[in-house]
Amino acid sequence: MKQFYSIAIDGPAASGKSTAAKGVAKKLQFLYIDTGAMYRAFTHYMLSEHLNPKSEEDAQKLLPSLKLKEDKEGHIFLNGEDVSSEVRSLEVTNNVSYACAHLCVREKLVSLQQEMARSENVVMDGRDIGTVVLPDADLKIYQIASVDARAKRRYDEFIEQGLKITYEEIKQDLIRRDYIDSHREHSPLRPAEDAIVLDTSDMTIEEEINAIITLFYQKVGDIWNNTEK
């Protein structure tokens, strides 16, 4: 008898994963887990301890003392401290793809993420959710959008926050991070074989959320039908 449902949403930066995941979680009353925020918090931890995010040896030093928690309002806590705004800094963004590529870091965070999904219905977004973290997820979405659509979305976000950054800088950061994320040795960014690819370039947020919910009910319907046989 199935107990908890899970939806995995993966894809490149700014493809709209977290916006969609939050909306879907709210409508279905599932728990939303932002795994990118966990890797960002670990990167912030390394930087605040003056360690080198590219060094696996340095990363290893912090793992035994690492405690991460996400609350239902979307805040992330590092060793008890709310670091939700710190994890969005440019310095963290520039270093996260290095810190998160080490095998020891991935093993630790993946096991925390799997633990979180064991006792709740969840929507989880990231880069390796469908392939590594939740290989048995009920629905796997691989969300994409053109690099220009993604850069425009991030640019609008930053301008609204009053940050000084050019469109070209944002576009280059997305291209750089996507390249590192999809070419790393451990858990690279790629669609799971059974993922449904959703191109959100021309979709509104509402359309995106509704598309995922419709796909989820189609899948869940299949599970129920199979259980009854």
The nearest distance, CB 229 to ligand CDP, in angstroms, is: 35
Which of 9-17, 46-54, 162-170, 221-229 is the region at the interface with ligand CDP (rule: CB under 6 A)? 9-17
Answer for the pair 79, 65: CB distance below 8 angstroms, yes or no.
yes
Q: Which residue in 59, 198, 203, 212 binds ligand CDP (CB under 6 A)? A: 203
Q: Would you give the binding string for ligand CDP spanning residues 94-133, x where CB under 6 A is met?
A: --xx--x-------------------------xxx-----
Neighbour-count burial of 121, counting CB atoms closer than 10 A to its CB (0-12 exposed, 13-18 middle, 19+ buried): middle
Neighbours of 68 (CB within 10 A): 20
Residue with tokens 């449904």: 196
Answer for the pair 213, 27: CB distance below 8 angstroms, yes or no.
yes
CA pair distance 226, 220, nearest whole angstrom: 10
Q: Which residues, 21 to 60, sit near ligand CDP by CB under 6 A?
A: 35-37, 39-40
Residue closest to 9 by CA, chosen among 170, 223, 208: 208
CA pair distance 143, 56, nearest whole angstrom: 30
Nearer to ligand CDP, 86 or 128 (CB): 128
Q: Which residue in 46, 86, 123, 181 binds ligand CDP (CB under 6 A)? A: 181
Q: Would you give the binding string for ligand CDP spanning residues 58-97, x where CB under 6 A is met?
A: --------------------------------------xx
Nearer to ligand CDP, 107 or 222 (CB): 107
CA pair distance 87, 162, nearest whole angstrom: 17
The structure tokens listed for 44 are 């912030």
Q: List residues binding ligand CDP (CB under 6 A).
A: 11, 13-19, 35-37, 39-40, 96-97, 100, 126-128, 153, 157, 177, 181, 200, 203-205, 208
